[in-house]
Chain A
Amino acid sequence: MEGQELPCVLIDCIGGKHGVYEDHVEFLKERFCLITMKEYLENKNFLGKKIRAIYMWYHKPVINEELLQSLPNLKIVASSGAGIDHLDLNLLSSYGVKVSNTPFIVSTDTADLGMALMLASSRRLVEGHQMAISPDTEYFPANWLGAEVSGATLGIIGMGTIGYKVAERAKAFEMKILYHNRKQRNKEERAVGATYCKKIDDLLQQADFVMLAVNLTPQTHKMIGKRELQLMKPTAILINISRGLVVDQDALVEALQNKVIKAAALDVTYPEPLPRDHPLLKLKNVIITPHIGSATVKTRHLMKENMTESIQAGLAGLPIPNEVLL
């Protein structure tokens, strides 16, 4: 049977809440023999030996030591998206398993969403829409105002691929761009007219908009806490397109309630979704989106293609595109 010639790849499931998209399956089945977690669990002994790669979509299937021990021929895990904080890289390395992600393909969509959140928050777009359609609205009040994005100061924390694309877009709005990064990026700075802030405090004190575009590491965990929020202007807006845990959420709630900062726009929280009684859900000056930074039809197709390439290279012993190194 043709299917048996193709390398066996483990996936969580097809369709449903978190599964591989139905319309991606045909492409994958042309290249791999797909084995779902359900199928694997029903026939562990036989299938365990055949699985050579894991196609990790939306952080599933969850990979733990037990799973690694039962997949002796596993060579590579391809993870969707840019973030890898959900993976235990040391553990995988200890089993000789390589890892890839899709950092570049998601960069423009995520930068676009960062801009969308900044504009929506500043111009009170969600509130405005609610007013426009509310059954109670009889007139549009005069002097209902937002704040201008054009010409304002944007502070980008994390000037990697995504942060840089944000800067490129912000430049067209004639924004003054400050950035804070592990390393200064001279060439990129000049290209977008950005100013390096070695001390994060300098950026926080000057910015009208603070955008988080770092990845989540032990160093960036709760990087924005009470101290950082208090350094921000009371008219400033915090935008998070990185990971919920980069922000001390309790400190954020307090800062928003006490008007220490003006507003927040978050594509990411911890956890996702937030518990339904969480104070962030009730604050008028908060926009939350359901982690849709890379959620476009085109990008998801490209992610699937990237991951497929990485798996094929990994299985052939060739250099792996988008390999994640320790």
Chain B
Amino acid sequence: MLKYRMLHGLWQVAKGLQRTVPEHPKVMAEPQLPGLLIMGIGGTHGVQESLAALLKKHFCLITMKELLENKKEMGKKIQSIFVSEFRPTIDRELLESLPNLKVIGNSGVGVDHLNLKMISNFGVKVTNTPHAVADSTADMGMALMLASARRLVEGSQIAVSPDTNYFAADWLGVEVTRATLGIIGMGRIGYKVAQRARAFEMRILYHNRNRRSKEEEQAVGACYCEMEDLLQKSDFVMLVVNLTPQTEKLIGKKELGLMKPTATLINISRGAVIDQDALVEALQNKTIKAAALDVTYPEPLPRNHPLLKLSNVIITPHIGTATVQATHMTAEEAIANMLSVLNCQPIPSEVFPQ
């Protein structure tokens, strides 16, 4: 696949350009890998062992624990930070203690958890991994749409419930094939969703900041729409935007009111793109039919949150990129990006403050 070749190519470039960094000119130069701060290895929030092994090939790993135990010495060594599943948290205090920090390599494409302006003021670059996560996230969008339409979670509960003694004949879901899908946010991931949905003969509407080219639209049979139009016509509305000040609470009471009462809302972007209280109300009042959310705000939701109790809601624990394959590709893409910064090479996926 093109994606693998491209990432492999990036890696080759990065490996070839690795330089040794002598600490003291008087002492014989020891080859030393650049210092990389990570949350930890293993455990509940650390980096997987196999990913740590991958990172060790290019970096000298320093965990948060090691940094905190010896801030002065370790702080100077750190030239890069690997942020995975939003950890470690990047705040002003951390940035001030890392005088030689050049780059923060984020796993995944969303960077709304990073204060880009503040980081930029410290002269630190930020990179993300848009290529590695696109397929798995698009797959998750399709999985949620199909599961919701066909009532898969409910059905599986009936199939295993101790109270079940027959399968009712009139227990029905709704069709996905030939239904109308409205994609809000037709970036890399949104486009891959469209490619998949097309094979289900879905009618595809989309809304995006910028309209895609005619060829791109035709390739997936997608029609550009104003938001209101899309909301009114779609059987499934899928959110695939990134979280910015412009997309925060993009879907609120008004937007939910425009949707069909038979429509399903699917969110694979960020919880904060939806006004969650408005969503609860819409689901309770049957303004829309159902929701399937891989993301909420916060994650996890408080255990008494109404969304957890609604039978027409599927929630998954932010697993859009949680596959063995995507995790490895993400680490490789992050490594290639960070090394390109440290080696003053063109940076494949730099993210700039808006």
Contacts and interface: CB of A to CB of B under 8 A. Distances in A.
A148 B324 contact: yes
B44 A151 contact: no
Interface stretch (A3-11, A93-101, A139-147): A139-147
A109 B177 contact: yes
B303 A137 contact: yes
A176 B257 CA distance: 42
Contact of B322 (A116, A146, A299): A146
A125 B316 contact: yes
B139 A149 contact: yes
A293 B53 CA distance: 44
A146 B323 CA distance: 5
A47 interface: no
A124 B139 contact: no
Given A119-B143, A120-B147, A296 B175 contact: yes
Contacts, number: 196
Nearest to A300: B172
Nearest to B140: A123
Interface string B285-316: 00000000000000111010000100000111
B151 to A, nearest CB: 7
A276 B171 contact: no
B176 to A, nearest CB: 5
Interface string A258-299: 000000000000001110100001000001111110011111
A172 B199 CA distance: 6
Contacts of B159: 273-274, 281, 288-290
Contacts of A111: 177
Which bracket fits the contact residues of A?
35 or more
B112 to A, nearest CB: 17
A180 B133 CA distance: 32
Contacts of B300: 132, 137-140
A255 B106 CA distance: 40
Which bracket fits the contact residues of B?
35 or more
A209 to B, nearest CB: 13
B97 to A, nearest CB: 24
A125 B266 CA distance: 14
A117 B175 CA distance: 15
Given A135-B303, A144-B322, A150 B147 contact: no
Contacts of A290: 155, 158-159, 164, 167, 171
A131 interface: yes
B353 interface: no
Given A125-B143, A169-B199, A290-B159, A131 B317 contact: yes
A119 B171 contact: no
Interface in B130-186: 135-136, 138-140, 142-144, 146-147, 149-153, 155-156, 158-160, 162, 164-178
A195 B144 CA distance: 29
Contact of B319 (A15, A117, A123): A123
Given A147-B324, A276-B162, A133 B308 contact: yes
A40 interface: no
Nearest to B329: A148
Contacts of A172: 195-196, 198-199
A133 B327 contact: no
Contact of B156 (A119, A272, A288, A299): A288
Given A142-B84, A148-B326, A292-B151, A128 B317 contact: yes
A19 B172 contact: no
Contacts of A274: 159
Centre residue among B158, B162, B316 by max chain A CB count within 10 A? B316
B214 interface: no
A189 interface: no
A129 B316 CA distance: 5
B187 interface: no
B316 A299 contact: no
B326 A144 contact: no
A142 B85 contact: yes
B122 interface: no
Contacts of A146: 319, 322-324
Contacts of A173: 139, 142, 196
B340 to A, nearest CB: 25
B344 interface: no
A132 B325 CA distance: 23
B45 interface: yes
B1 interface: yes
A174 B196 CA distance: 9
A288 B160 CA distance: 7
B260 interface: no
A145 B327 contact: yes
B233 interface: no
Given A58-B169, A291-B167, A292-B151, A150 B45 contact: no
Interface in A105-137: 108-109, 111-113, 115-117, 119-120, 123-126, 128-129, 131-133, 135, 137
Contacts of B169: 17-19, 21, 57-58
A185 interface: no
Nearest to A151: B1
Contact of A112 (B45, B146, B168): B146
Interface of A: 15, 17-19, 21, 57-58, 108-109, 111-113, 115-117, 119-120, 123-126, 128-129, 131-133, 135, 137-151, 168-169, 171-174, 272-274, 276, 281, 287-292, 295-300
Given A109-B177, A129-B153, 15 more contacts: A17-B168, A21-B170, A57-B169, A115-B146, A116-B146, A119-B143, A142-B84, A143-B48, A146-B322, A147-B324, A148-B326, A168-B199, A273-B165, A292-B172, A296-B150
Shortest Cβ-Cβ A-B pairs, 3 listed: A172-B199, A116-B146, A119-B143
